[in-house]
Amino acid sequence: MAHQSEITAPDGIADLWQAPEITPRPIRVGIQGVAGAFHEIAARQFFGQDIGIVPALSFSALFEAAADPEATDAAVVAIENSIAGSILGNYNLLTDSNLTVTGEVYLHIRQNLLVLPGATLADLSEVHSHPIALAQCAAFFKNLPHIRLMESVDTAESAAQVSRNRTKHIGAIAGTPAAERYGLHILAAGIETLPENYTRFLVLSRQAGTGTGTGTGGFSRRNPSNNRLNTPHAPPNKASVCFTTPHEPGSLARILNLLAAEGANLTKIQSVPLPGRPWEYRFFADFTAIARIDAILDKLKPKTIDLRILGVYREGDWEITNQQKPRL
């Protein structure tokens, strides 16, 4: 056999023969709102600081971006609040999409009244914010009849508009990161009606959940705030499903009894009207279980007309999500 000589790079151009070092780009995460929004805080809490934020001014636009591989790799969307309740429209957007729930974030929400520096409460005639934020702070404004509450698309966008317009008679309800980003004064801090104010966000991915691994749809959490829950190989212990049942007595009860018998803890159940079918409903349910979730889902399917598994993932923990202040 002929001897094969070793090929070497000519002198002076060795660097050209080396494989280029590829720096992975940050994960692109879609959010509802603009920079400084609570959605951004939730996204950074789940994925870490080294991410790219893709803003959308409406939930429908967010779901469109989340479905587009040219725009995003994942998305974070609010689904319910401990004071204002469920965001029903987002349940419909979720079922109309092909996205998978791959995680969740519970974020402690602290709302502030933001104004231009130097503005006072007497100067205000309008306060703008997202409808859910207005609902969370309704009690604060009951004794301020001279202030009109105006709905907007986003808390942080409301703050940005106050900053751009430079009008002292308009304020905004938003979080502290929005005040810092847009140079506004916090006239009143923590104006939410109840201090235990939490919003639950779903983490969405185009990659189908398999029920194994990190529960992040192929993405690992970076810089986690809670190592106990966010360990790389922590098994999924929560499922989100939607289903319809036969329109007969006991059909929903049989499903709930099955979950109880299997030791599953029902953490959420929500009914949403079925379009075009008056007084019929689709049910959305979340449950946690120590046992194998896929076995429970197999037993659940025959008791429904149609069962859709929205995602199987690792549950979040609302008790500790406010310990780490995100860097925005």
Query: Model confidence over 225-272: pLDDT tens digits?
Result: 333 334 445 789 999 999 999 888 999 999 999 999 999 999 999 999
30, 31, 35, 37 alpha-carbon torsion, rounded to 10°: -160
3-state secondary structure of 95: helix
CA distances 61 to 33, 58, 119, 251, Å, are 10, 5, 34, 36
DSSP output for 248-304: STTHHHHHHHHHHHTT-EEEEEEEEEPTTSTT-EEEEEEEE-SS-HHHHHHHHGGGS
* CA angle in degrees (0–180, nearest 5) for 145-151-153: 155
Neighbouring-strand partners of residue 52: 28
Tokens of 38: 């609570």
- What is the overall mean pLDDT for the chain? 84
- Judged against a pLDDT cut of 70, whether residue 320 lies above it is answered with no
* Domains of the chain, each with CATH number or no CATH: 27-108+198-313 (3.30.70.260), 112-189 (3.40.190.10)
CA distances 99 to 34, 54, 205, 206, 311, Å, are 22, 17, 6, 5, 9
**Predicted TM-score (pTM) of this structure:** 0.80
- pLDDT band for 319, please (50, 70, 90 cuts): low
d(CA 288, CA 278): 31
Residues involved in catalysis? 199, 201
